Structure 1
Amino acid sequence: MEQAILQVARAIEQAERILVITGAGVSADSGLPTYRGLGGLYNGHTAEGLPIEAALSGPMLQRDPALCWKYLAELSKACLAARPNAGHSAIAELQRRKPGCWVLTQNIDGYHRAAGSPAQRLIEIHGELAPLFCQSCGAEDDELIEHLQRPLPPRCARCAGVLRPSVVLFEERLPEAALGKLYDELRKGFDVVLAVGTTASFPYIVEPVMQARKTGGFTVEVNPSSTDLSRWVDVRLEGKALDVLPALLSHIPEH
């Protein structure tokens, strides 16, 4: 493992453009339940007998906003109850040391920003929980915590429309601005791509890794268990982001 960490650290040190892709596993180290799998926040069906994908979908938010918000509130409370960990901090520090380092995250908890990752080099592909906005009049609302103490769904103070977070629910499209930013950067190419704590089941997670492989870039996976991506990367660092990333950073000198 130490030899592999040194190999990855050398590649990062020599690289100009780096992409760190993060999934639920990074925030799991903060005590936040992962969406799926062992210890997942939702396993199978909701109390109403629905697949969680149906309860947390765009159509459900329109049809039964109270039911959709019941589970959005669970997610929100879990995110608000935890904090960024040493993995998030190590990524933010890597971005400080390497101005060409970008973060693409599937997570909606805002921990990368809280840990100090610069917004201009952070792509939150699934959006973020706060602020909320009104589906009727478009007004922005910063009172997520307060709304979670009130009857759901949360309502707009201006027009009483149903509020929603800027997250991508099931059956909704990814935000065009975030996708545009990602593909703009992919066109420039990356010397190193690290996939951290993600099961890599989406094309926009797999594509950067495969593109880096094709163009001679160096690819790395950090995960406690094997994923669909494992066989495609140059180096696999087995372990939690919380432990692996600070160890990696300790071998990358500041310039």
Structure 2
Amino acid sequence: MPDDSTDTIDRLHELLDRAASIVAFTGAGISTESGVPDFRTPGSPWMVNKPIPFEAFVKSREARIEAWRRKFAMDDHYADAAPNIGHRALARLVAEGRAPAIVTQNIDGLHQASGVPDGKVIELHGNGTYATCLACGWRHELAAIRPAFEASGEPPACVICAGPVKSATVSFGQAMPQDKMSAAQQLALEAELFLVVGSSLVVYPAATLPIIAKKQGATLVIVNREPTELDAIADLVVRAEIGAVLGRLAG
């Protein structure tokens, strides 16, 4: 049974109130409450529109076309998604200066939409709300890419260098952004309280971050509806809906 007892939630907020430095690490679970589908739920639309591996995207025009078709199909699934109470609660921690940044595995941009400055969101798996050129790095907006793609059926090319343009997410087989991972690791080393919110903690190397924090003496708290592989080393585990648990932080 999920542990959403009043005593457990009160204990969580006692820990949050005492901590001077809180690093929040978020996964898909925080955004499913906004209607964004996750990868592992049976029947997930991600199973129909699986991301194209990076190597195939680079090598094949046909793969790039299919990748963009699937990208826009998935965007339509959560086009109306908005930050929920969990996002707003974490945004408040940042605004109050109690959280130096939010580290996220999510690509939906909802932390920024909740009011967290872009520079205080460390996106380990990139961002699906815009695209970049793989050759020169130029940013491209989806609002311009989609109508051109749907009219021509051709994968987008960079307006600067004509290189291939890809959603700014980290695809399977694509290198993790080392600057982001390094920044996240440094936060884990410095955290007084490391708060995992809605992550199954099965994707590495991101899932090493709570371990790093715990080894450095941080209090480790995991808020997730399902058990995780790191529950055994956590100081507190809350298995409940995120909004219900963090709601009082949002004011």
Per the TM superposition, whether the score is higher than 0.5 is: yes
CA 1:147–1:120 in structure 2 vs 1: closer, same or farther (change >3 Å)?
closer
TM-score between both structures, scaled by the size of structure 1: 0.84
1:58 to 44, 54, 59: 54
Q: Which residue of 2 aligns with 1:231?
A: 232
2:183 aligned partner, one-letter code: K
The 1-side partners of 2:250 and 2:12 are apart by: 10
The 2-side partners of 1:220 and 1:137 are apart by: 40
1:73 aligned partner, one-letter code: F
2:194 aligned partner, one-letter code: V
Q: Which residue of 1 aligns with 2:172?
A: 170
- RMSD across aligned C-alpha pairs, in angstroms? 2.2
List runs of 5+ in structure 1 lacking aligned partners.
47-51, 251-255
The 2-side partners of 1:158 and 1:213 are apart by: 45
Judge conservation of contact 2:85–2:243 (CA < 8 Å) in 1.
yes
The sequence identity of aligned pairs, in percent, is: 27
* 1:202 aligned counterpart, secondary structure: coil
The 1-side partners of 2:154 and 2:98 are apart by: 42
1:24 to 24, 28, 40: 28
1:110 aligned partner, one-letter code: G
The 2-side partners of 1:80 and 1:39 are apart by: 19
Judge conservation of contact 2:46–2:74 (CA < 8 Å) in 1.
no
1:9 to 13, 19, 26: 13
Judge conservation of contact 1:5–1:248 (CA < 8 Å) in 2.
no
The 1-side partners of 2:127 and 2:155 are apart by: 18
Judge conservation of contact 1:16–1:191 (CA < 8 Å) in 2.
yes
The 1-side partners of 2:43 and 2:92 are apart by: 29
TM-score between both structures, scaled by the size of structure 2: 0.85
Q: Deviations over 1:88-126 (max 9, x none)?
A: 111101212234442110001100011012333221111
The 1-side partners of 2:216 and 2:158 are apart by: 49
1:102 and 2:98 matched: no
Deviation at 1:152, TM superposition (A): 4.7
1:58 aligned partner, one-letter code: F
Judge conservation of contact 1:90–1:245 (CA < 8 Å) in 2.
yes
Q: Which residue of 2 aligns with 1:253?
A: none
| Alignment map for 1:66-81 (pairs within 5 Å) | 66-81=65-80
The 2-side partners of 1:225 and 1:171 are apart by: 27
Deviation at 1:81, TM superposition (A): 3.0
The 2-side partners of 1:166 and 1:32 are apart by: 18
Judge conservation of contact 2:185–2:212 (CA < 8 Å) in 1.
no
Judge conservation of contact 1:79–1:109 (CA < 8 Å) in 2.
no
The 1-side partners of 2:130 and 2:207 are apart by: 29
The 1-side partners of 2:86 and 2:154 are apart by: 34
| Alignment map for 1:30-41 (pairs within 5 Å) | 30-41=34-45
CA 1:100–1:247 in structure 2 vs 1: closer, same or farther (change >3 Å)?
closer
Q: Deviations over 1:19-63 (max 9, x none)?
A: 1111111111111111222342223x66xxxxx3xx521112122
1:145 to 126, 138, 143: 143
1:181 to 175, 180, 183: 183
Judge conservation of contact 1:199–1:229 (CA < 8 Å) in 2.
no
The 1-side partners of 2:31 and 2:156 are apart by: 26
The 2-side partners of 1:156 and 1:163 are apart by: 6
Q: Deviations over 1:229-252 (max 9, x none)?
A: 2222121112121221114556xx
2:124 aligned partner, one-letter code: I
Q: Deviations over 1:124-146 (max 9, x none)?
A: 1111123322334543222x034
The 2-side partners of 1:218 and 1:108 are apart by: 27
Judge conservation of contact 1:61–1:69 (CA < 8 Å) in 2.
no
Q: Which residue of 1 aligns with 2:91?
A: 92
| Alignment map for 1:214-253 (pairs within 5 Å) | 214-247=215-248
* 2:209 aligned counterpart, secondary structure: helix
Judge conservation of contact 1:30–1:85 (CA < 8 Å) in 2.
yes
Judge conservation of contact 1:20–1:101 (CA < 8 Å) in 2.
no
- How many residue pairs align between the two structures? 240
